Amino acid sequence: MVRLRDVHFSVQRRAIFDGVEVDIRRGSVTAVMGPSGTGKTTLLRLITGQLLADRGLVEVEGRDVAAMSRPEIYRMRRRMGMLFQNGALLTDLNVYENVAFPLREHTNLPERLLRHVVLTKLHAVGLRGAWNLMPAELSGGMARRVALARAIVMDPQLLIYDEPFVGLDPISLGMVLRLIRRLNDSLGLTSIVVSHDVREISAVSDFCYLLSGGRIIASGPPASLADSGSEEVRQFMHGLPDGPVPFHYPAPDYAGQLRHLPK
Amino acid sequence: MIVSLARELLVSLRTALEALGAYTLFGLRLVAETPRALLRFGLVVQQIHNAGAHSLVIIMMSGLFVGMVLGLQGFDLLERFGSEESLGTAAALGLLKELGPVVTALLFAGRAGTALASELGLMRATDQLAAMEMMAVDPVRRVVMPRFLGGILSMPLLAAIFSMIGLFGAQLVGVQLMGVDSGQFWSQMRGAVEFGDVMEGVLKSAVFGVACSLIAVFEGYHSVPTAEGVGRATTRTVVISSVVVLLLDYMLTAVML
């Protein structure tokens, strides 16, 4: 479904990716993990055509994203759904209108049918009863679920989750986890989940990629990554505070810095 | 010293030219999108309500007080020449040609312009614009255009209301308070004010509407997605709009006189 080959990408001469290779298989839930600041969200932006790679191939459904025109990228995105970290609901529309938004923009469905579709999707995420609430009235978990209903309202083939567990209480987190797996299997989707919550993501994903230092340092089913012999992989998977990724940001000599007063 | 000063001047000039280029390109894109945006006129009407109707109270209050001050100052000045019955003409020409469009534009920049810029800036900071892009909805077409057109269409209407209320204020002070003859006040005005004078004000307010709306949507849409960035975009909207309105006012007045 998605294929990245030898992808290089840099921002202001700082290399973010240095030869990344990723394969997302159709029908699977694939996790992309890695420490903060390793470019996980950037990877999603490359897949969705929001950013273009400096070098290498980014292919979605067999088509090179870099070779697509703007209308073609928009047509590709109609077959994608994306859940943003904070939900990114439109704050001037209520829950119902937020979910209906893509349908109103892209289709001419009669109001009766549109209502049917929107309520079905809201029911799938358990928030049919909250249809008339405004985004400001929703908890973080509810906002994330409404955004999920909006992401699936156009019946996409690929669903992308950007850090879906950040800031959620255990109950909301459990609900989102269950929804990721259930929606993927019942709707026949392909899902990409970007996260650094190892335990949660391992529970729902079929395959994992671990991103660090601009490269994929490990890939495989979640269980195989947990038992990896690589120190770097072990540090991340087991949440060790020090290791190949140091606790301290590079700094000059401690005593010298304490003695020296900047002018 | 002189070399570094010259270098700084060059950098500033280059930055200003880049900004002007960016404004021009964005403006041209909005012009190109206008026919399509007019087809979804409901969205534009919604923004006329947001930018226009919500500015009505401040416009009407300001219009009343500006008109009353104009009545007092005008009476004081004209009385020295024994021609206080011309107060209606002076107030009408002052309001229709100058004060109405200019003060309305300045108030619009402060009220609706800042609201537009901060709304767009916050939409960017909270990923709402990115979410639209991901839903294959062009944010310029869906969000920026209705606000831009709403602002443009609101400005002449607000300026007309400002001038009308201002005239009422001038009449209130001149006729009711200072004792200018009511018949003279209105008849001199009707005799002296021509259709061209009214159109001058309408044209000015339309130009100011384009300028203020463009500045507000440009600054908001291109703001840095942080709290500081949105604040800066809002401030820049007021400052740039005010200077541009006064500059354009001089240029338009020079051309139309």
Contact yes or no for A151/A81 (Cβ under 8 A): yes
Give residue limits of the domains in chain B.
37-256
Nearest CB among A78, A84, A150 relative to B136 is that of A78
Question: What residues form DSSP beta bridges with A8?
Answer: A18, A55
Give the model's pLDDT for residue A93: 92
Which amino acid appears at position A66 of this protein?
A
Residue B127, φ and ψ in degrees, nearest 5: 65, 15
The tokens for B246 are 């006064």
A37 pLDDT band, cuts 50/70/90, is: confident
Q: What is the mean pLDDT of residues B60-89?
A: 91
Cβ atoms within 10 Å, residue A52: 12
For testing the chain B interface, which of A60, A86, A105 should be mutated: the one with the most B CBs within 10 Å? A105
Burial of B7 (0-12, 13-18, 19+ CB in 10 A): exposed
Would the CB atoms of B137 and A50 count as touching at under 8 Å?
no
Find the length of chain B. Answer: 257
Using a 10 angstrom Cβ sphere, with 0-12 exposed, 13-18 middle and 19 or more buried, the burial of residue A32 is buried
Amino acid A11: pLDDT? 84
**pLDDT of A43-55, one tens digit each?**
888 999 888 888 8
Q: Model pTM? A: 0.84
Please report, for residues B39, B100, B131, the alpha-carbon distance to residue B157 in angstroms, rounded to integers and kept in the order given. Answer: 21, 11, 34
| Lowest mean pLDDT, pick from A5-19, B3-17, B110-124, B233-247 | A5-19
Q: What is the DSSP string of B52-118?
A: TGGGHHHHHHHHHHHHHHHHHHHHHHHHHTT-GGGHHHHHHHIIIIIIHHHHHHHHHIIIIIHHHHH
Cα of B48 to nearest chain A Cα, Å: 16
| B218 class by beta-carbon count within 10 Å (0-12 exposed, 13-18 middle, 19+ buried) | buried
Q: How far apart are CA B104 and CA B157, in angstroms?
A: 10
Cα–Cα distance between A120 and A21 in angstroms, integer?
A: 37
> Taking an 8 Å Cβ-Cβ cutoff, which residues of chain B contact chain A?
122-123, 126-128, 130-138, 142
Please indicate whether residue A203 or residue A150 has the higher confidence score (pLDDT): A150
- What residues of chain A, 126 to 185, have a C-beta less than 8 Å from chain B? 147, 150, 154
| CB atoms closer than 10 angstroms to residue B98 | 16
User: Which pLDDT score is estimated for B17?
Assistant: 93
The predicted pLDDT at position A119 comes to 93
d(CA A236, CA B244): 55
Cβ neighbors of A59 (< 8 A, separation 6 or more) are A2, A3, A4, A5, A65
Q: State yes or no: pLDDT of A157 exceeds 80.
A: yes
Tell me whether strands A29-33 and A80-83 are parallel, antiparallel or unpaired: unpaired
**pLDDT score of A220:** 85
pLDDT at B204: 94
Helix (H) or strand (E) holding B229: helix B227-256
Residue-wise pLDDT tens digits, B4-51: 888 999 999 999 999 999 999 999 999 999 999 888 899 999 999 988
Count of C-beta atoms within a 10 Å radius of residue A213: 16
Measured distance CA(B23)–CA(B214) in Å, rounded: 8
Q: How far apart are the first and last CA of chain B?
A: 45
Provide the pLDDT for residue B215: 96
Cβ within 8 Å, pair A85-B127: yes
Share of residues in chain B with pLDDT > 70 (%): 100
Q: What is the pLDDT of residue A245?
A: 67
Q: Which residues contact B164 (CB under 8 A, 6 or more apart)?
A: B63
Q: What domains can you pick out in chain A, each with its CATH number?
A: 2-79+156-259 (3.40.50.300)
Check residue A155 and give its pLDDT: 87
Decide if A8 touches B, using CB distance below 8 A: no
Six token digits for residue B110: 């402060």
Give the SS3 label for residue A190.
Answer: strand
Are A125 and A145 a contacting pair, CB within 8 Å? yes
Chain B touched by A75 (CB under 8 Å) = yes
Query: With an 8 Å Cβ cutoff, is A74 touching chain B?
Result: yes
| 3-state secondary structure (DSSP) of residue A52 | coil
Residue type, A180: I
Contact (CB, 8 A) for B124 and B223: yes
- Find, among A43, A39, A44, A5, the residue nearest to A160 by Cα: A44
Query: Over the stretch B204-245, which tens digit does the pLDDT of each residue have?
Result: 999 999 999 999 999 999 999 999 999 999 999 999 999 999
For A39-90, the pLDDT digits (tens) are: 888 888 899 988 888 888 898 888 888 888 888 999 899 888 888 888 899 9
DSSP strand pairing (A2-11 vs A55-60):
antiparallel
Q: How many CA atoms lie within 13 A of B229 on its CB side?
A: 16
pLDDT beyond 80 at A236: no
Phi/psi for A100 (5° steps) reads -75, -15
Is the pLDDT at A186 greater than 90? The verdict is: no
How far does the CA of residue B37 sit from the closest CA of chain A (Å)? 13
In the predicted model, what is the mean pLDDT of residues B94-98? 92
- What Rg do the C-alpha atoms of chain B give, in angstroms? 21
Residues of B in contact with A91 (CB under 8 A): 122-123, 126, 128
Measured CA to CA, the distance from residue B80 to residue B88 in angstroms comes to: 16
Residue B213: which of B37, B85, B2 has the closest Cα? Answer: B37
